[in-house]
Amino acid sequence: MNAIIVSTLLGVIMMFCSWGIKIQKTQQSIALVGLFVLILSNLAQLNGWYVINFDTKGMLAFTRFGLYINSLFFIITFIYIWLNGEEIAKFNNQAADFYALFFFILCGASILTSFDNLLMLFIGIEILSIPLYILTGADKKNLFSNEAALKYFLMGSFSTGILLLGITFIYGATGSFHLVEPVLKPSTGLPAEQMILSAGLLLVFAAMNFKVSAAPFHFWTPDVYDGAPTVFTSFMATIVKAAGFIAFITIFNSQSKALGYSWALVLSFVIVSTLLVGNIVAVFQRSVKRMLAYSSIAQAGFMLFALYGKSSFAQEGIVLYAVVYSLATIGVFGVLIKMKENSFEAFNGLAKTNPLLAFVTTIFLFSLAGIPLTGGFFAKYYMLNALYAAGAGLWLIIIAILFAAISVFYYFKLVQAMYFFTGKPAMHEVPKKYTYALLLIAILLLILGVFPSLVFNYLYF
């Protein structure tokens, strides 16, 4: 509750901020302070203190899990804005507008971590998405950015329509928007109603797949990620995606039972096709940014494992995965922002000219690939464990592992470029402070690579 209210207020404050304050640094500082307040208010709710408290009639349910995830989102956003402040300001003198949009996105994310009603899901998704359409088109004079924004907007609206249709079907069959356990049941028990309910759930499933860019609903992802300004792609691919996943899991952890046996089949199909598309296509990319777009599809495939069934591994795993993946992705994009070109060749010889930067990039890539000693390894391990604990066949795990090995191929292509090929990378100026900030993220990933439980211990106490 606190997070939703405070983030909205902060969004409004940031919007008006641009009237009085013209200095970019100050705007960034205000945003950071705002985020800090947001984190505090959210933690306050964990301890039972409310800004305003009223009965939501079961529309929202605040669980420890949801609130904790909120805090993680806010902390990652804090790191993101702290790192990328200058870059954000490049597209507009009024960076404060963008910060306002970030706060609205966070408001949407907070709803997605705590909804208990399909209408709130819809509202949360909309609040999350609309600022994203604007951010995608932030580079107003760049045609690709415009194209990406339009594409995203059209396809996004379409998928929201499908979501709404699904919700309508569910309402029609059950007479309720509520997601309470036990599972949704047709109100009269007629077979036709059961079918409508299943159809509704499948439509919601499709729409959610679109939001988290799982195949075969992924087609917007590469174009949008590639067209959007890199700094915003970084945000889109991390926190927004993770929030989508949390919502996805909240719905289907309980409601998947209504689909019965076919659920495992449908989900396995989506998982395998997502892994297939993401990994195979990423191998052939020549632009690092596009490779990362496809890799983000591939990573979504791994996160989908958490949907397979409810277990402590799934719950802990998705938290760990979201954090680790977000940090690593923000890091890689942070390096990419400083390159003048996006091709793999542009990274040639980075280890010579800037060893520290090359080192941190390597850590990020290792983490994405799931190499031990980085957080990515345990994230993947938990996901595989979740899959097995939920009773998936060994074949699915083996397929996942094969694709994980393929992913090493394209991540290491970048490592090879940096360390083993010679060249002079064309770069924007990289301040020392910036490199150290990236180093801090890398160190966080290494710590999580040895003690992953640091992230999810607070889920319980």
Partner 1 sequence: MLITFLLIPILTAIVLLFIKKDTLAFQTAIAASLATLALAVFASFNKVETFDMSWLPNLNSRFTLQADGLAKILILLSSISLPAILMASNKNEYKQKNIFLSLLLFTQAGLMGVFLAGDALLFYFFWELALIPVYFLCSIWGGEKRIAITFKFFIYTFLGSLFMLIGILFVNAHTVEHSFSIQAFIQANLTDGQKITAFALFFVAFAIKMPIFPLHTWQPDTYEQSPTPVTMVMSAVMVKMGLYGILRWLLPLFPVAFAAHTNVVVFLSVVGILYASFIAIRQDDIKRLIAYSSIAHIGLMNAAIFSGTGIAIQGALIQLFSHGINVLGLWIIADIVEQQTGTRSMQQMGGLAKKQPTLAILLVGFALANIAMPLTNAFVGEFLMFNGLFILNPWIAGFAGISIVLAAIYTLNMVQKVAYGEISEKINAMPAPNKAAQLVLIILLIIVFVTGVYPQPLFTLTADTLQQLIAK
DSSP 307: G
- The residue behind tokens 């994310």 is 109
Binding mask 91-130 for partner 1 (x = CB under 8 A): ----------------------------------------
CA separation for the pair 59, 456 (Å, rounded): 26
Minimum distance, C-beta of residue 306 to partner 1, in the bound complex (Å): 16
**H helices of 113-190, where?**
118-136, 143-174
The type of residue at 123 is I
Q: Which of 419, 425, 444, 448 binds partner 1 (CB under 8 A)?
A: 419
Q: Which of 130, 306, 404, 414 binds partner 1 (CB under 8 A)?
A: 404
Minimum distance, C-beta of residue 416 to partner 1, in the bound complex (Å): 6
446 sits near partner 1 (criterion: CB under 8 A): no
Paired tokens of 291? 């490779």
- Residue closer to partner 1 by CB (options 22, 424) is 424
- Residue closer to partner 1 by CB (options 192, 401) is 401
395 sits near partner 1 (criterion: CB under 8 A): no
DSSP 90: T
CA separation for the pair 268, 215 (Å, rounded): 11
CA separation for the pair 197, 60 (Å, rounded): 22
453 sits near partner 1 (criterion: CB under 8 A): yes
CA 247 to chain centroid: 11
372 sits near partner 1 (criterion: CB under 8 A): yes
The type of residue at 344 is F
Closest CA to 386 of 324, 318, 439: 318
Minimum distance, C-beta of residue 348 to partner 1, in the bound complex (Å): 12
Q: What are phi and psi of 28, to 5 degrees?
A: -60, -45
- The residue behind tokens 């994405």 is 368
Other CB atoms within 10 Å distance of the CB of residue 261: 6
CA 143 to chain centroid: 26
- Residue closer to partner 1 by CB (options 276, 408) is 408
Q: Using CB under 8 A, which of the segments 32-40, 292-300, 335-343, 379-387 binds partner 1? A: 379-387
Binding mask 266-305 for partner 1 (x = CB under 8 A): ----------------------------------------
Closest CA to 329 of 442, 161, 162: 442
Q: Using CB under 8 A, which of the segments 12-20, 119-127, 151-159, 389-397 binds partner 1? A: 389-397
- Residue closer to partner 1 by CB (options 221, 385) is 385
Q: Is the dihedral of CA 183, 189, 195, 200 positive or negative?
A: negative
DSSP letters of 242-268? HHHHHHHHHHHHHHHHHHTTHHHHHHH
- Residue closer to partner 1 by CB (options 227, 301) is 301
- Residue closer to partner 1 by CB (options 102, 366) is 366
Q: Which of 10, 346, 384, 390 binds partner 1 (CB under 8 A)?
A: 384
426 sits near partner 1 (criterion: CB under 8 A): no
Minimum distance, C-beta of residue 278 to partner 1, in the bound complex (Å): 17
Minimum distance, C-beta of residue 69 to partner 1, in the bound complex (Å): 17
443 sits near partner 1 (criterion: CB under 8 A): no
Q: Which of 49, 144, 409, 436 binds partner 1 (CB under 8 A)?
A: 409
Positions in 309-348 near partner 1 (CB under 8 A) = 316
Total site size for partner 1, rule CB under 8 A: 28
458 sits near partner 1 (criterion: CB under 8 A): no
Q: Which of 119, 150, 389, 447 binds partner 1 (CB under 8 A)?
A: 389
Which residues, in sequence order, are CB contacts of 124 under 8 Å at separation 6+? 108, 109, 111, 112, 115, 247
Q: Are 237 and 166 in contact (CB under 8 A)?
A: no
CA separation for the pair 330, 73 (Å, rounded): 13
CA 129 to chain centroid: 12
Q: Using CB under 8 A, which of the segments 96-104, 214-222, 259-267, 377-385 binds partner 1? A: 377-385
192 sits near partner 1 (criterion: CB under 8 A): no
Minimum distance, C-beta of residue 316 to partner 1, in the bound complex (Å): 7
DSSP 179: -
Contacting residues toward partner 1, per CB under 8 A: 316, 371-373, 381, 384-385, 388-389, 394, 397-398, 401-402, 404-405, 408-409, 412, 416, 419-421, 451-453, 456-457
